[in-house]
Every structure is written in C-alpha cells, then in structure tokens.
Structure 1
C-alpha cells in the first residue's frame, strides 16, 4: 500500500533523504536567541515546574523508589500545522471504530497473523490465549479501547498530494496504532501546562491561544470509570497491570489520582503479572478476585513485550484475566488488532471498506504511508529486494511494542540478507520511512546543561471506545501528546534520554 501521493516516487531518485527533508516553515514560537542569563533563569523555573507538577520519572541509571527526577523536556512548544492537527483529531473516532470492528473479526485476524504466529513466539502465545477464550466462550462481551494513533508530518517535495496543494507541502502519516499500554495521558497535558507557564514567563501571553486544550488524562480516566459503571458492582476495583519496576510512575499514578478525583467510590489496585498469577483467582461465575477484591476493569500498562513474561506464570495471569468478567483495556483481540502485521494488512486496497464506510475509508487511508508484506511470495520478494537496495528509505518493523525495536539503515540490509530466503522474514513488515520536518528547540535533561538542537516530533492522538460486537456505546477523542527527539537518532524514548516531553504550538 502506498501513500496518498498520486505521483509515486521511484526509490532510485527519491529526494526525501537526509538534509533535503529540512523545512524552515515551522519557525519557533519565539526567537531562539534567548540571552544566556534569561535562558538559565527560565530553565531553572521550568525544571522546578516540572518537578512540582509531576512531569517526572524514576531514573533508570540510578533507580531509587523514593526519588524522582524530571523527565527530559523541550523548553518551548513545537510548531505543528493547525490544518494537520485538526485533521488527525477528526479522524480518531474513525480509527477507534476501525480497530473495534477488526478486533471482533476472528477470520480476518487469523488470516493476517497465520504466518506471523509460526515465526514469532510472543504473538503465537497471545494467539493461543485468544483461541482458548474464544473456544470457551467470551465471558465479557463489552470491550474497552484506550487507543493512541501516532503520526508524523511528512514532506512532499512535489506538492502532489491531495491534501498539500499549497506550501508548505506537508501532510500527516501514521506511524502506528497502540491498543495496549497507550501511555502519556498525563505527560501530554502536563507538558502543555509547562509550556503555558514558560510562554507566560516570556511575556508571550498572546501566544497561549495557539496551544490547544488537552483533556487526555480526564478523558481516558472517564473511559475507565464508564467501564466500571457498566460492570455494575460499586465495590469492585480497577486493576492496573504494571511492570515489575515502574520508571514512568507519574504517568501511571496520575491516572489513578484522576480516577479517584472524578469518582471517589472507585479504588485502584496495582499488581504485576507475577502477583496476579499467585494471588488471583476466578469464581465459578468468572468474577476476577485479586487479594479478596473483585475486579471490574483491567488496565494494562504492562504485558506488551516478551520481557514482561518471565515464565509460564505470567502467561497464566494473562489467561486468567482474559477468562474473567472484568472489562479489559485491551482484550486479547484488541491487542492482536494492534499488531504491525494487521496494520499492514489494513492498508491493502479494499480492506478498510469491510469495517467502515467508503467515505470514512477514503479519509483514513490518507494517513497511511507505504506498508509492505515480507511474506514468502513474489510481492514479498520484491519488497525485500527493494529494501536491500535502498535501506535508507524504509523502516523494518518486527512485531514488538514499547519502542527501541525497529530496524533502520544499513542494519535493514544486514537483517534482510540473513532472513531473505527464510520464513523468519514473515515476522516483520516493511514501511516507508517518514521524513518529518526538522525544527530547533532547547532540550532540558537532568544533570546536563540546556542545549539548542535539531529535532523531529511525533504526535499521538488518544481515543476511547466502549462497545460490544453489535453496539458501540462510547466513541470519542481523548486528547493528545507530543514526543520530540533529536533529528539524528532513530529511536527517541523519553526515558532513554534521546527524546523529551513536548506540546503542540499550532501554526497557520
């Protein structure tokens, strides 16, 4: 599936490489020649604001449960075209509906993943749980989706796309859809609050209207509370499934605090998969009991990568949850619907129309960039050869979540040559590399001097959907988040220090 650009590029002469991608239309909201004395004072205030408002994480290098440090952040909000921001926000309820309907389609998921589960053990074990609960009969027909669709701006040098007829020639393309542990519902809004404070300190109150309101935390927590109400037991709790060690603690805890703020009757408990297996049980009528507490809603903030399943004990916990009456974000079918292979299959011609209207399909397909199957067939062979010849133009994606797993540049050539004639390649998909505009911003990291660097950004749009196979009860936007990273790095995790918290500054 290619992008919505009508004039497809020949990889041999595509100009979207390296410095050719640098656009200058997105100037900073304020001049970037801030005098050093003013800058240093501003940074000190910003650090304290971050620390005192929960824009914090635990250190991975010197972990101490009783100590927090501010998360890396950018001093100023990053420019993003208002036209594109409003477009992707508008599309999110359509994306929610698409994922919901895909998750109900067993035959489609089976077709998409039949080869992946033969070469990827993690996806295979998820699929076995899905098959087990499906054969036993789904206990809870109501699904809770807390979804985040991640997009990046893309430059079109020719101005040939339907949506970018006038300069600057940019549009948004989807990076991925997250259906499990879709984090930063707190970090997104708090970044915007930080930037509102900074602009005020700079005497730029007139710019505040350019920072869109962000209700991500409230909306996501409202979705969990609505699911709790649907469950129907006012004494039941919400279970957060967490990592063995939680670094991104503020993002998780502020969800917990917001749930209690909205409804003091709702209590949250936090357990990892090992604890759930040892201390959880099902009643005869499939109610999930953890430490003598009945669970109404399960919110996964872990369970999305193999390292979080140490032994069969953790897999037993996942199956226990799936068998239960609790509403889950996500169900196992939602988890599978968010896999890379399903994303690639949804970009094939005619597939979207199976789940959403023709008009909605046309709108949503505008977000797709080139996605290619690497299955063992002639089209897959062609994609492999294309990526080996021009690796800098693509991203090789294994079926993994959580960041840091994608493959870029020369490593693509190395990996594909190794698996070129093996079914192992079917565990990957190939995607056109998105080349976003490069901006400049001040990065603020713990224990380091502030630096002005070139950066690129990734926008995440949240959505909430609740429904059964036949009826959607809730479907809405749920705010946004912006992560920004150095333009010279491939992966830009905030906790790893290569990326940082950011917020949107809307430009005309």
Structure 2
C-alpha cells in the first residue's frame, strides 16, 4: 500500500502551479462558499501551504467578493485590489446555489478569462458533470480523443452504463427502459455531492413529474453492485460495542495534473481516500453524515483470477 500523503500531495501541486506562474508576490486564491460546512479540510490545505511555504500567501474569497474586488490587469492577470492571483482553487462554484445572482457568474467568467491557473480547469470541471460523462462514454466520442483501438477498449471497460434522457428517439427508448425496470438504475442530475440522485423504484414517479425538457437534464446510469465487506460503523450515540454490519466502500485516488492542450508538465498520484457506507444506504456522502472515512487494508487473495 503506497503512503497516503494526500494533503501534502495536493498542496504541493498547487505550489508547483504557483511556481509555473512565476510571480513571487502573487497569491493562491481559495474560492469558498458563504457558509463553508467543509471548512476543516480547506483549512488544513491553507495551513499546510502557510507552514511549508511561508513565502506564499493564501487568500479566501467567495464568488460574491471576487465580483466586488476582482478585475483584469493589462495582460489579463487576475487582480484582487492590487494583489495578483497565480492559482485559483475552487472549493465553491459546483452547484447552482453558488451563483445566486449574475454577479457570481460574472466573477466566474472573470476568473476563467484571466491568466491565473485554475484548479480545476473549466475542462476538468465540465468533465465531472454527469451529462458530459454520459457523452464521453459513447464510442464515437471516445474516438475523437483516443486513436489506439486497444487503449480505447481499455478506457471503455471502466465505464458503467450511462444513458441519455434527451427528448429524441434514443432518449425516449431509455425513458421506457427506466420505466420498465427501474430497479436496475439510478437517475442522476448535474449536481455534486449527495442527496440529489433518484434510485430504483422511486425513478418512475420522479420521471412522471418531469417535462421532457426537464428530463433531458438528467442521465440514467446502471446501478453498481459493489462487493460487500463486514465491519464496524462508529457513530455518535451508536451501540457500545458497535454491531458488525454489511458495508460497501468507494476508493478515490487523488491526482495532480498541470498542463495545457499541448504539454503536460506534471501528472502524478497524490494519495487516496476510502469512503464506506452501510450496504442499505443509497447515498454515501461523508459531509452529509451518510458515510464514513475508512482505511484500506490489502491482503493476499487466494483467487488467482
């Protein structure tokens, strides 16, 4: 098992981007929500940078504050007042509620048109949306980005079934499929975090309440059935000692990639996070209180296949 140094790996990645920008007086900007419920890990990132790289200043601003304070310099550098921004780390801007007025959209546009290095870039941000993922999973679309048939085949193996719900022949067929066998699927909108998906037998009623236009903003995905493990879920107010329960886990690999359309400067694995939830729970967000942070433990397998 490789060492899990996610905090250092991710922060060092931001500093590498700061070095590439190469303006010693520039800052790293954290874009945050008006009320940050995920503030603990944000602060850990901020404190690590300040302690390890004391010459680099970290600022925290909301989209609203960027709209009020931000402007572009003569060379399209992003300025907050008179302070130049080298790197923008988005911890907000991922859902509609983060853009209550046109001002927040204008702030996002200002940042995207600036020279500052964005984390994530707008391309990676869009690639994280369900609709783009559904489009990328189509073989004809993959061919635009991957020339090697074997490589394309290997990439295709990591996709689960993703189906359009557009108002056309394909989308209407997928709609009928979801109505016939809803227990095989999960319905997903273009949203981050837990609490937005519709599962199994709840899908038909949800679809019936949508217009065809509203339906097209969602995708249908095959319901994944991960392997079960047994363990203890430690929660406030739970039984002492806790009971052994069936659980499922999701392993996320952190990575740092810095580059442009023509050249990749850095690309490396930067740690991992294992989230575990009860096997009976649909959603598994840690911040939402539905899952828990866990630690992987590798063992030798008797199954050589």
TM-score exceeds 0.5: yes
Equivalent position of 2:215 in the other structure: 425
Equivalent position of 2:75 in the other structure: 285
In structure 1, C-alpha distance between the alignment counterparts of 2:150 and 2:119, rounded to whole Å: 28
Unaligned runs of 5+ in 2: none
Q: Report the secondary structure of 1:319's partner residue.
A: helix
Does 2:208 align with 1:391?
no
Of 229-238 and 494-503, more deviation after overlay is shown by 494-503
Displacement of 1:444 after TM fit? 1.8
In structure 1, C-alpha distance between the alignment counterparts of 2:151 and 2:10, rounded to whole Å: 24
Displacement of 1:358 after TM fit? 3.0
Equivalent position of 1:364 in the other structure: 155
In the alignment, is the contact (CA less than 8 A) between 1:393 and 1:433 conserved in 2?
A: yes
Of 264-273 and 344-353, more deviation after overlay is shown by 344-353
Match 2:263 to one of 471, 487, 499: 471
- After superposition, the C-alpha distances for 1:346-372 in whole angstroms (9 at most, x for unaligned) are 111243232233333222211111111
Does 2:226 align with 1:413?
no
RMSD: 1.8
Higher helix fraction: Structure 1 or Structure 2? 1
1:437-452 correspondence to structure 2 within 5 Å: 437-450=227-240, 451-452=242-243
In structure 1, C-alpha distance between the alignment counterparts of 2:113 and 2:141, rounded to whole Å: 30
C-alpha distance 243-273 of structure 1, shift in aligned 2 (>3 A) = same
Match 2:94 to one of 296, 301, 304: 304
- After superposition, the C-alpha distances for 1:125-157 in whole angstroms (9 at most, x for unaligned) are xxxxxxxxxxxxxxxxxxxxxxxxxxxxxxxxx
In structure 2, C-alpha distance between the alignment counterparts of 1:506 and 1:249, rounded to whole Å: 31
Displacement of 1:220 after TM fit? 1.3
In the alignment, is the contact (CA less than 8 A) between 1:212 and 1:504 conserved in 2?
A: no
**TM-score of the two chains, using structure 1 as the length reference:** 0.56
Equivalent position of 2:274 in the other structure: 482
Q: Report the secondary structure of 1:414's partner residue.
A: helix
Q: Report the secondary structure of 2:143's partner residue.
A: helix
Equivalent position of 1:324 in the other structure: 114
Equivalent position of 1:97 in the other structure: none
Equivalent position of 1:460 in the other structure: 252
Q: How many residues align?
A: 297
In the alignment, is the contact (CA less than 8 A) between 1:403 and 1:491 conserved in 2?
A: yes
**TM-score of the two chains, using structure 2 as the length reference:** 0.91
In the alignment, is the contact (CA less than 8 A) between 1:388 and 1:417 conserved in 2?
A: no
Does 2:301 align with 1:504?
no
In structure 1, C-alpha distance between the alignment counterparts of 2:98 and 2:111, rounded to whole Å: 16
Displacement of 1:300 after TM fit? 0.1
In structure 2, C-alpha distance between the alignment counterparts of 1:314 and 1:437, rounded to whole Å: 42
In structure 1, C-alpha distance between the alignment counterparts of 2:270 and 2:134, rounded to whole Å: 25
Does 2:40 align with 1:250?
yes
In structure 1, C-alpha distance between the alignment counterparts of 2:266 and 2:33, rounded to whole Å: 29
Does 2:152 align with 1:380?
no
In the alignment, is the contact (CA less than 8 A) between 2:230 and 2:247 conserved in 1?
A: yes
* Structure having greater relative contact order (Cα 8 Å, sep ≥ 6): 1
Does 2:152 align with 1:335?
no
In structure 1, C-alpha distance between the alignment counterparts of 2:145 and 2:270, rounded to whole Å: 22
In structure 2, C-alpha distance between the alignment counterparts of 1:342 and 1:236, rounded to whole Å: 34
Equivalent position of 1:20 in the other structure: none
- After superposition, the C-alpha distances for 1:371-399 in whole angstroms (9 at most, x for unaligned) are 11112222222211111111111011111
Displacement of 1:291 after TM fit? 4.2
Equivalent position of 2:54 in the other structure: 264
Unaligned runs of 5+ in 1: 1-210
In structure 1, C-alpha distance between the alignment counterparts of 2:55 and 2:230, rounded to whole Å: 46
Displacement of 1:292 after TM fit? 3.0
Equivalent position of 1:108 in the other structure: none
In the alignment, is the contact (CA less than 8 A) between 1:438 and 1:454 conserved in 2?
A: yes
Displacement of 1:227 after TM fit? 0.7
Displacement of 1:447 after TM fit? 4.6
Displacement of 1:318 after TM fit? 1.0
In structure 1, C-alpha distance between the alignment counterparts of 2:52 and 2:222, rounded to whole Å: 42
- After superposition, the C-alpha distances for 1:89-138 in whole angstroms (9 at most, x for unaligned) are xxxxxxxxxxxxxxxxxxxxxxxxxxxxxxxxxxxxxxxxxxxxxxxxxx
